[in-house]
Amino acid sequence: MIAVPSPLRLRLLTDALVANWRWLAAQSGGAACGAAIKADGYGLGARAVMQSLAAAGCRDFFVATWAEAAALMPLPPGVGLAVLHGVGADDMAAARTLPARPVLCSVEQVRRWREMGEGQPCDVMVDTGMNRLGLRAEEAANGALDGLAIDTLLSHLASADEDSAQNARQLAAFQAIRAQIPARRYSLANSAGVCLGHDYAFDLTRPGLALYGGTPRSEAAGHISQVAFPEARVLQVRTVERGDTVGYGGTWRAASRTRIVVANIGYADGYLRCHSGGVGFGSWQGRDLPVVGRVSMDLTAFDAGDLPIGEGDWVTLGYDLPEVAARSGLSQYELLTGLGARFERYWLT
Ligand SMILES: *Cc1c(COP(=O)(O)O)cnc(C)c1O
């Protein structure tokens, strides 16, 4: 096969990923610190993330589906994998054969798992107020789980990124469940939950976002580093005259003669239209270039100012997650998971 160079790449920093995990592990106190790597490691590449974090000492990984679990085989030695969506009827063949635990989420899933009858360890999700996935506390306490070999009993925080009274309520509900249901380990905190303090850490934490450079709460600011840097190749440099417009709808008009660079990235790559019109920006040799006009499917135009950028150069997109989330209105999660399949992902150590 011909090696085709990509005009769109995602520079990924292994050291930043590992440093973020180490900070989260330290904040987890005595609890083990795992890693949520669903949605292909939040768009960065689940396999590479798992390998780097396993080498750093992470032993617990979480994906959403069995297809995601299957894609990660074989697992690094000593590593455990849990599948957050549990087992549907179609998942039983995978659940029987793959070395991963389902996180059973409903009475129906518990029944299905029991019917398999092999007494293999499983995880269980109990709802403490989010009302998304999980057995209700009453269901869990009323014998539905008797006799299961529960490795980890989980619940998930709905508002940990805010100073909400819901956090303490969920903590109290989880402590009550822990007193009633035996399991090897208990786990409540995502990235934001880790920032809420040791009370929330129990035996195992499950950060995702903050591993990848997201700042879930102010406590993490200054401790979490950017991991992912989108880079797009410049396809064309053009000069427009005063009064000319750029892009679909002619939404940007030149106030004076302006050099415009057109780069190989667009909304089909997850660089959505909300970055249009100066909301988004790139940089070249450390100097900022505002987006001009509308982002289109495969292309975005930038004001090059007086910079001597040429065709074939690379523009690095501004992608500091908290800053770009505030500017664009997208969540830090959407900014990461939207990064499309056309990026060539490359990790630097
Ligand atoms: C996605 C997810 C996490 C990780 O959450 P972040 O907010 O990205 O840290 C943890 N636990 C569960 C159950 C999840 O679905």
pLDDT of the residue at 69 = 98
| Cβ of residue 84 lying under 6 Å from some atom of ligand 1 | yes
| C-beta neighbour count of 19 within 10 angstroms | 17
Q: Is the pLDDT of residue 131 over 90?
A: yes
pLDDT tens, residue by residue, 251-287? 999 999 999 999 999 999 999 999 999 999 999 999 9
pLDDT of the residue at 116 = 86
Q: Is the pLDDT of residue 318 over 80?
A: yes
The rounded Å distance from CA 335 to ligand 1 centre is 16
pLDDT of the residue at 246 = 98
Structure tokens at 348: 């630097």
In the chain, % of residues over pLDDT 90: 98
Give the mean pLDDT of the chain.
97
Structure tokens at 152: 């980890």
* d(C-alpha 281, C-alpha 1), whole Å: 36
Per the rule left: phi > 0, alpha: psi between -120 and 50, beta: everything else, 55 is alpha
pLDDT of the residue at 294 = 98
Beta strands in 149-279 (DSSP E): 150-154, 185-187, 204-205, 228-240, 245-246, 252-253, 258-263
Of all protein residues, whose CA lies closest to atom 6 belonging to ligand 1?
208
Minimal CA–CA distance to 208: which of 197, 196, 194?
A: 194
Q: Where does the pLDDT of residue 2 fall: very low under 50, low under 70, confident under 90, or very high at 90 and above? A: confident
The neighbouring-strand residues paired with 244 are: none
Q: Which amino acid is residue 40, in one-letter code?
A: D
Q: How open is the CA angle 209-214-215, to the nearest 5 degrees?
A: 115
From 131, 206, 215, 321, mutation site for ligand 1 pocket: most ligand atoms within 8 A of C-beta: 206
| Cβ of residue 156 lying under 6 Å from some atom of ligand 1 | yes
The rounded Å distance from CA 209 to ligand 1 centre is 8
| C-beta neighbour count of 181 within 10 angstroms | 20
| Cβ of residue 124 lying under 6 Å from some atom of ligand 1 | no
Q: Phi/psi of residue 282, each to 5°?
A: -115, 180
Taken in order of first residue, the domains within the chain and their CATH numbers are: 13-218 (3.20.20.10), 228-319 (2.40.37.10)
Determine if the pTM surpasses 0.95.
Answer: yes
Of all protein residues, whose CA lies closest to atom 12 belonging to ligand 1?
156
Q: Is the pLDDT of residue 118 over 80?
A: no
Q: Which of ligand 1's atoms lies nearest the C-alpha of 214?
A: 8
pLDDT of the residue at 117 = 79
User: 122-125 and 8-13 as β-strands: parallel, antiparallel, unpaired?
Assistant: unpaired
Exactly one of 38, 186, 319, 333 is catalytic; name it. Answer: 38
| Cβ of residue 190 lying under 6 Å from some atom of ligand 1 | yes
- Region 304-328 average pLDDT: 97
CA 195 to chain centroid: 17
Q: Determine whether 6 is exposed, middle or buried from the number of CB atoms within 10 Å of its CB (0-12, 13-18, 19+).
A: middle
Placement of tokens 């415009």 in the chain: 260
Q: Which of ligand 1's atoms lies nearest the C-alpha of 207?
A: 9
Q: How open is the CA angle 89-93-97, to the nearest 5 degrees?
A: 140
Residue 76 preceded by cis peptide, ω within 30: no
Exactly one of 212, 248, 267, 333 is catalytic; name it. Answer: 248
Minimal CA–CA distance to 24: which of 240, 314, 249, 225?
A: 225
Of all protein residues, whose CA lies closest to atom 15 belonging to ligand 1?
84
pLDDT tens, residue by residue, 282-313? 999 999 999 999 999 999 999 999 999 999 99
CA distances from 327 to 50, 77, 263, 309 (A): 31, 42, 21, 25
| Cβ of residue 36 lying under 6 Å from some atom of ligand 1 | yes
Q: Is 38 a catalytic residue?
A: yes
pLDDT tens, residue by residue, 86-108? 999 999 999 999 999 999 999 99
Placement of tokens 């106030």 in the chain: 255
Q: What is the total residue count of the chain?
A: 349
pLDDT tens, residue by residue, 186-227? 999 999 999 999 999 999 999 999 999 999 999 999 999 999
The rounded Å distance from CA 345 to ligand 1 centre is 23
The rounded Å distance from CA 182 to ligand 1 centre is 23
pLDDT tens, residue by residue, 155-187? 999 999 999 999 999 999 999 999 999 999 999
